[in-house]
Amino acid sequence: MMTALPATGRAWHLVARPHGWPRPGDVELRDVPVTAPGEGRILVRNRYFSVDPYMRSRMNDVKSYVAPYELDRPMEGGAVGEVIASGSDRFAVGDQVLHGLGWREFSEVSAEHATKVDPSRAPLSSYLGVLGSTGLTAYAGLFEIASFQEGDAVFVSGAAGAVGSQVGQFARLKGASRVIGSAGSDEKVKLLVEEYGFDAAFNYKDGPVREQLKAAAPDGIDVYFDNVGGEHLEAAISRLNLHGRVTICGMISQYNSTEPPAAPRNLALVIGKRLRIQGMIVTDHLGLRPRFVEDVAGWLASGELKYNETVVEGVENGFDAFLGVLRGDNTGKMVVSLDG
């Protein structure tokens, strides 16, 4: 017997395209009707949803690898929650699922676009982070895009964030000669070295990135995993050894810029050093998921892999959590909890 469904739920809507930094007036938290799922669909009470830097680009009305958010429509993103009504024989009421219609309390989702997850294997929120697309981004970007090899020296920017913290640890677990990270506070620098096992780390606010990276990587680097762009990318190009590889995962330093970036100014070095620079989108690498889950679940079970989450409570604080990601307030994955 199906329990009575709520009449409405709250959902974040984009109501204006931001220019520069998003502002509270660009979004609205609105009540929307909750309806029983149709055939082949499920209704999910969300327990956590993800806020990620890439969502800033979806607020712009520009052609990209993923469609922009529509005005006056609920925004989207990763979420996990409990099935409370099902029109699909693939899912039963009570199942926990991962899906792509976050930013709201209740989601009516096509069963084809939901994945059952096991909360006994790992905490539910981890399927948005270390065992989700965040972790897969780190895994694919390091091993497939950057062609990491044992003995490589690796530099990660934004290394205390959800993706960067996993990249550095994956490299260490697979035999990197040296792992270096940058972060935006002394507390995060300490975390990188003491908890995540980075060989060296620096606060990019303490001085020029180029000088700090040179001190941390006197023998150069072989792989650069870029989450920041700008000055960080310029510094990495200077320190990369012959045949170095760069994975461009994100450029958070430019997401809210209204002017073209000043750096990098040394792209000509790409020629003589024979560097390979490649952008990545995680959805191109879903075939890696079985190997990724096997490796990462094993490292989590053994305690070799550490991860942190920054949890913001309440759907009403979802937009503030998103702004926090853009400011770098989070340590590890930023998620919004709806369990309260």
Looking at the structure, do residues 146 and 277 belong to the same domain, yes or no? yes
Q: Is residue 292 part of a domain?
A: no
Model pLDDT, residue 2 = 55
Model pLDDT, residue 259 = 79
249's tokens: 């995962």
Q: Is residue 300 part of a domain?
A: no
Domain containing 156 — which CATH number?
3.40.50.720
Looking at the structure, do residues 22 and 66 belong to the same domain, yes or no? yes
245 SS3 class: strand
Q: Which among 267, 283, 299 is the end of a domain? A: 283
Model pLDDT, residue 197 = 98
Please name the helix (run of DSSP H) or strand (run of DSSP E) that holds residue 138, with its range, or none: helix 133-140
Looking at the structure, do residues 71 and 121 belong to the same domain, yes or no? yes
Model pLDDT, residue 215 = 98
Model pLDDT, residue 3 = 66
Looking at the structure, do residues 149 and 115 belong to the same domain, yes or no? no
- How open is the CA angle 312-308-199, to the nearest 5 degrees? 145
35 SS3 class: coil
Cβ proximity of 78 and 109 under 8 Å? no
Residues of the chain with pLDDT under 70: 1-3, 340
By the 10 Å C-beta count (0-12 exposed, 13-18 middle, 19+ buried), 220 is classed as: middle
Q: Is residue 3 part of a domain?
A: no
Looking at the structure, do residues 125 and 145 belong to the same domain, yes or no? no
* Domains contained in the chain, number: 2
CA gap 171, 139 in Å, rounded: 9
Domain that holds residue 96: 8-129+308-337
Q: Is residue 294 part of a domain?
A: no
Model pLDDT, residue 1 = 42
Q: How many other β-carbons are positioned within 10 Å of the β-carbon of residue 120? A: 7
Q: Is residue 157 part of a domain?
A: yes
Looking at the structure, do residues 145 and 115 belong to the same domain, yes or no? no
Cis bond upstream, residue 123 (ω within 30) = no
107 SS3 class: strand
Domain containing 41 — which CATH number?
3.90.180.10
Model pLDDT, residue 328 = 87
Closest CA to 249 of 54, 61, 59: 54
pTM of the model: 0.86
